[in-house]
Amino acid sequence: MEIANNKKKILSLLALTFGIIPIVIAIMELILIGVEAVAEDVSILFFTSPGDAVFESSALDHVMKAFVNFLIGGIFLHGYQKVKEGNPDGFSFFIGGGILLLGIGFLFIMIWGANLIDTAISGFVEPEVWGEYIFTDGIRIEWFLGVGAISVLSIWKNKEQYLTQVQKF
Amino acid sequence: MLKSLALIGNPNVGKTAIFNELTGQTGHVANWPGVTVEKKMAKWIIFQVIDLPGVYSLSPSAIDELIARNFIINEKPNIIIDILDATNLERNLYLAFLLKELEVPIIFVLNLMDVADSRNIDINIDKLSELLGAPVIPTVAIKGKGIEEVKSLIKKAIVDKKIAIKKNFKVTYSKEIEDNINQTIELLKINSPNFLPDRRRWVAIKLLEGDKEVSNELSSADGGLIVIEKVKRIAGESIEFDLAGERYDKIGEIVKETYKRDKNILTISDILDKVFLNKYAGIPIFFLIMWAMFEFTFRVSAPLGSLIEVGLGSLGDLIAGSWPADAWYTSFVIDGLIGGFGAVLGFVPLIFMLYLVLSFLEDSGYLARAAFVMDRAMNKIGLHGRSFVSMILGFGCNIPAVMSCRAIENEEDRLTTILVNQNISCGARLPVYVLLGGYVWGASAGTIILLLYILGIAVAILMALFFRKVIFRKSESSPFILELGDYRMPTLKYTGIHMWERGREFIKKAGLIIFTVVVIMWVLLNLGIDPSGIYWGAEPEYSLLAGVGKSLQPLFQPLNWSWIAVAGIVFGFLAKEVVVAMFGLIILGTEEAAGLGAAVVQALPNIPIADSSVPFLVFGYLVFILLYTPCVAHLGAVYKETGSVKWTIVSASYGIVLGYAFALLINLIGGVYF
């Protein structure tokens, strides 16, 4: 099996795009740790407020987000490299990365929904809280789900167009 | 009298799904080799249906294979259903041949036909049936397809006796081997005529193969030793391999005639395995999935937990407002049941969510991959990869995980795996992590809980290394073979059943053990001692329960734990959920408690510490909860599986020592004493 010549360009472009964007996000997450540390008391990275017993670590949050994005970006970039060579593994990495994105997208949707319900149960109804949930988190979900859905569903569905079977002699 | 029907097959071919479909039971079905650790039984019309462990052959060296073989020989089931994996016929037919040699009535079920179709695998079922000399029925057990045909055939053959299931099908070998078999049969007829007379050919083959189990049994029969001695002279050095080779030749011929596969088909399993089993990406993806699992468990269960809390709170207020405040039963219901038992009930959704994700990962086939990925890492330090399979089972409960070690052939590997499994964090410990972590780490709690799980895995690996290299002085690791079935989209039915099976155990435990312990703790909390003797209505600080914590508290003085923290550890020996119940009982009974998590965190240190050190003290406490004995029942399982008081004591004591050392170290890092 090989990647079809007429699909190499589009597949490699998509893989490169889906690879670079998460890497940029990951780097930004790491930079944010430094920015927060400089702009505020360093302990804000580990505590909700300096000296507080509640250890809600924004640093840990940034590191985890960076890890997730680096991993997904890495998978797509590895896929890009292989696609360029015409190696069918590139196709596998592209679809695999897309499935991971889909999984994470669904996870965020579930968390998002659970947060909304929890907020409602707690009787918390300030519009800005709801706005934050609906717009900030919603956009993140759309990104993950959108990319995942495009890469997995459409390309997997038309896999015969992307892969050619090599005649064995 | 019931007739017996045995289900047998390679691991992960769908035996348990067929067992469930036949009997209407809800046994645990997973896309994971080795689900059936012990044989399971249930009734179906006039049959006792027995689900035997998944086996590749019937050799006596593995305990599960021996269980299956002995059952067939000793219990003589009326019919055997051998389940074959349609996607991997060649490997599955080896067991079919071994069963045929036992000359038992067999029906073959060709399962996973849907997966075979998706891989463009074409099987000539009629021809296969003809070549095997037995009926072959295609099924998709997980969707119930083909099950009616299986039922109908069994009824026709055994109940109505309308068709005959042949049992005299013979696997014929080359002339040289057949001569050896016939000579051995003659020896048996002459010298040990009463030894398994209806299975002489099978006994002859096993003796030629050098099967120790059969030789041992024959040696105690009349004339058995003579036969064994003479067979040694007949059998050549390589006859065992020759027999296996000829079986595979015949299997190859059958496969050639009946099985066609399009090798150019790219399946989703091929694709995912390229990524998930990748040398570099495999382990990070495993951690990503673990992180996603805890984020899901922790956050998605939150609203359900809140609902239970709100409900129990309202119930408590209602009772407090209408029942007499100083009556013992008011205290029992509000402090004991709502405060103690209710604190555990609040975590039921959390436990169910964890089991839902674990079931999903298991049923999808990913957990088997996780074991494979970790095996590569573990093998580098000389550890046996099969150990990790048991470790992963420990995420649900450590007791079945300890029992699953029976499948490990090597005794030292088995013992090592049993001893290190306790470090894998079971579901019962999760409520304690969430109660304390939820307050201390807020939105980061999911990540911190993931760190605890990773720490548990790391300690298990290091302790396994210690046991192997230092205690057993073993450097070589035995080869690890793990079958990776296809990824499957888990069905709502089986994932739901699977989650319910595990969650039900938690509810049963909560209903019986935890309820009983809560009642005992409530009594101890209300009993006090003064110079005049024991009295009722003691303040928590001066109760017998406090006495238990205070008497052991000096041992934990270096960790700066209060008597409440120590009492939690003591009662946690019974079951880890009891820790949460005890906190609820003591702390919700006091007026200043605003929220349980916050109040417990305030109550943990013996001597007040700086706020910034609190997370370290709490983390140390949670690490101790992670590393010491999971529960008394776990110790019972260790004793049962090792048969040794010594190893049971080692299991209990090393966990306490490690937990203590880690907690002390974390306290030092966190400046708890400065």
CB contact under 8 A, A60 and B270: no
pLDDT tens digit string along B600-634? 888 888 888 887 788 889 999 999 999 999 988 89
Model confidence band, residue B354 (pLDDT cutoffs 50, 70, 90): confident
What is the C-alpha to C-alpha distance for residues B84 and B96, in angstroms, rounded to an integer? 8
**Range in B20-34, B97-111, B573-587 the model is least confident about:** B20-34
Q: Are strands B47-51 and B40-44 parallel, antiparallel or unpaired?
A: antiparallel
The B40-44 sheet, strands edge to edge: B40-44, B47-51, B3-9, B79-85, B106-111, B136-138
**Range in A103-107, B36-40, B287-291, B449-453 the model is least confident about:** B36-40
pLDDT tens digit string along B645-668? 999 999 999 999 999 999 999 999
Is residue B421 within 8 Å of residue B385, measured between CB atoms?
no
Task: Choose between B441 and B129: higher pLDDT.
Answer: B129
Residue B590 has pLDDT above 60, yes or no: no
What is the C-alpha to C-alpha distance for residues A28 and A23, in angstroms, rounded to an integer? 9
Asked if A42 is an interface residue toward chain B (Cβ–Cβ < 8 A), one would say no
Determine the pLDDT at residue B323.
Answer: 86
Is residue B505 within 8 Å of residue B569, measured between CB atoms?
no
Asked if B614 is an interface residue toward chain A (Cβ–Cβ < 8 A), one would say yes
Percent of chain B with pLDDT over 90: 22
Phi, psi of B108 (to 5 degrees): -100, 135
Asked if A123 is an interface residue toward chain B (Cβ–Cβ < 8 A), one would say no
Model confidence band, residue B31 (pLDDT cutoffs 50, 70, 90): very low
Which among B274, B300, B443 is the nearest to A92, CB-wise?
Answer: B274
Q: How many independent structural domains does chain B possess?
A: 2
CB contact under 8 A, B271 and A117: no
Tokens of residue B371, six digits: 């074991």
pLDDT tens digit string along B490-540? 888 778 887 888 788 778 877 778 888 888 888 998 898 888 888 888 888
What is the C-alpha to C-alpha distance for residues B408 and B386, in angstroms, rounded to an integer? 7
Of the three residues B159, B188, B216, the one that is the final residue of a domain is B159
Residue B566 has pLDDT above 50, yes or no: yes
CATH of the domain at B11: 3.40.50.300
Q: Is B490 helix (H, G, I), strand (E, B) or coil?
A: coil
Task: Please state the rounded mean pLDDT for residues A106-133.
Answer: 73
CB contact under 8 A, A92 and B270: yes
Residue B637 has pLDDT above 80, yes or no: yes
Tell me the ipTM for this assembly.
0.85
Model confidence band, residue A142 (pLDDT cutoffs 50, 70, 90): low
C-beta atoms surrounding B457 within 10 Å:
22
DSSP letters along B267-286, please? -HHHHHHHHHT-TTTHHHHH
Mean pLDDT of chain B: 84
The alpha carbon of residue A52 is apart from the nearest alpha carbon of chain B, in Å, by: 6
Q: Is B605 helix (H, G, I), strand (E, B) or coil?
A: strand
CB contact under 8 A, A53 and B307: no
Q: Which residue has the tokens 């998605």?
A: B300
Task: Please state the rounded mean pLDDT for residues B284-292.
Answer: 89
Residues from chain A contacting residue B307 (CB–CB below 8 Å)? 121
Determine the pLDDT at residue B30.
Answer: 45
pLDDT tens digit string along B3-22? 889 999 988 888 888 988 88
Of the three residues B129, B159, B189, the one that is the final residue of a domain is B159
Determine the pLDDT at residue B55.
Answer: 81
What is the C-alpha to C-alpha distance for residues B598 and B666, in angstroms, rounded to an integer? 21
Model confidence band, residue A136 (pLDDT cutoffs 50, 70, 90): low
Residue B291, domain member (yes or no): no
Determine the pLDDT at residue B32.
Answer: 42
The alpha carbon of residue A26 is apart from the nearest alpha carbon of chain B, in Å, by: 15
Residue A29 has pLDDT above 90, yes or no: no
Residue A167 has pLDDT above 50, yes or no: no
- State the amino acid at position B281 in one-letter form: A
Instruction: List the one residue out of B398, B343, B394 whose CA is nearest residue B632.
Output: B398
pLDDT tens digit string along B308-328? 878 888 888 888 888 887 788
What is the C-alpha to C-alpha distance for residues A47 and A36, in angstroms, rounded to an integer? 12
Q: Which residues contact B298 (CB under 8 A, 6 or more apart)?
A: B350, B434, B438, B445, B446, B449
CB contact under 8 A, A56 and B442: yes
CB contact under 8 A, B284 and A51: no
Determine the pLDDT at residue B398.
Answer: 87
Question: What is the Cα Rg of chain A in Å?
Answer: 20
Which among A100, A156, A165 is the nearest to B264, CB-wise?
Answer: A165
Residues from chain A contacting residue B442 (CB–CB below 8 Å)? 48, 54-56
Comparing alpha-carbon positions, the chain B residue that sits nearest to A52 is B611
Task: Please state the rounded mean pLDDT for residues A47-67.
Answer: 67
What is the C-alpha to C-alpha distance for residues B12 and B189, in angstroms, rounded to an integer? 40
Comparing alpha-carbon positions, the chain B residue that sits nearest to A68 is B288
What is the C-alpha to C-alpha distance for residues B48 and A112, in angstroms, rounded to an integer? 49
Residue B550, domain member (yes or no): yes
Which among B264, B285, B441 is the nearest to A56, CB-wise?
Answer: B441
Residue B276 has pLDDT above 80, yes or no: yes
End-to-end C-alpha distance for chain A, whole angstroms = 14
Residues from chain A contacting residue B439 (CB–CB below 8 Å)? 54
Determine the pLDDT at residue B625.
Answer: 96
Task: Please state the rounded mean pLDDT for residues B467-478.
Answer: 73
Percent of chain B with pLDDT over 70: 91
Task: Specify burial of residue B596 (Cβ count, 10 A radius: 0-12, 13-18, 19+).
Answer: buried
Determine the pLDDT at residue A102.
Answer: 84
Residue B278, domain member (yes or no): no
Instruction: List the one residue out of B39, B35, B40, B44 whose CA is nearest residue B3.
Output: B44
For residue A106, CA distances in Å to A145, B263, B268, B406 come to 7, 33, 19, 38
DSSP letters along B28-95, please? ---SSTT--SS-EEEEETTEEEEEPPP-S---TTSHHHHHHHHIIIII--SEEEEEEETT-HHHHHHH
Determine the pLDDT at residue B674.
Answer: 53
pLDDT tens digit string along B56-94? 888 776 677 788 888 888 888 889 999 999 988 988 999
pLDDT tens digit string along B534-562? 888 888 888 999 998 999 999 999 999 99
Residue B400 has pLDDT above 50, yes or no: yes
Task: Choose between A36 and B665: higher pLDDT.
Answer: B665
Instruction: Give the H or E element holding residue B147.
Output: helix B147-154
C-beta atoms surrounding B481 within 10 Å:
9
Which of residues 554 through 613 in chain B touch A, CB cutoff 8 A? 601, 611-612
The alpha carbon of residue A47 is apart from the nearest alpha carbon of chain B, in Å, by: 8
pLDDT tens digit string along B473-496? 765 655 666 667 788 888 887 788
Q: Is B100 helix (H, G, I), strand (E, B) or coil?
A: helix
End-to-end C-alpha distance for chain B, whole angstroms = 75
Determine the pLDDT at residue B110.
Answer: 95
CB contact under 8 A, B281 and A71: yes
Q: Which residues contact B493 (CB under 8 A, 6 or more apart)?
A: none
Mean pLDDT of chain A: 77
Residue B636, domain member (yes or no): yes
Determine the pLDDT at residue B34.
Answer: 47
Comparing alpha-carbon positions, the chain B residue that sits nearest to A96 is B272
Determine the pLDDT at residue B33.
Answer: 46
Is residue B2 within 8 Å of residue B43, measured between CB atoms?
yes
Task: Please state the rounded mean pLDDT for residues B106-115.
Answer: 92
Model confidence band, residue B301 (pLDDT cutoffs 50, 70, 90): confident
CB contact under 8 A, A54 and B439: yes
Asked if A103 is an interface residue toward chain B (Cβ–Cβ < 8 A), one would say yes
Which among B288, B306, B611 is the nearest to A53, CB-wise?
Answer: B611
Asked if B276 is an interface residue toward chain A (Cβ–Cβ < 8 A), one would say yes
**Range in B385-394, B425-434, B553-562 the model is least confident about:** B385-394
Residues from chain A contacting residue B291 (CB–CB below 8 Å)? 64, 68
Which among B270, B292, B302 is the nearest to A107, CB-wise?
Answer: B292
Task: Please state the rounded mean pLDDT for residues B199-203.
Answer: 88
Task: Please state the rounded mean pLDDT for residues B270-276.
Answer: 88
B36: containing domain: 3-159
Comparing alpha-carbon positions, the chain A residue that sits nearest to B303 is A118
Residue B652, domain member (yes or no): yes
Angle (nearest 5°) at CA B404 between B398 and B407: 155
Query: Which residues share a beta bridge with A2?
Result: A164
- State the amino acid at position B189 in one-letter form: K
Residues from chain B contacting residue A80 (CB–CB below 8 Å)? none
CB contact under 8 A, A56 and B300: no
Q: Which residues contact B481 (CB under 8 A, 6 or more apart)?
A: none
Residue B660, domain member (yes or no): yes
Of the three residues B159, B192, B207, the one that is the final residue of a domain is B159
- The three-state DSSP-derived secondary structure of B318-375 is HHHHHCCCCCHHHHHHHHHHHHHHHHHHCCHHHHHHHHHHHHHHHHHCHHHHHHHHHH
Q: Which residue has the tokens 């069905």?
A: B491
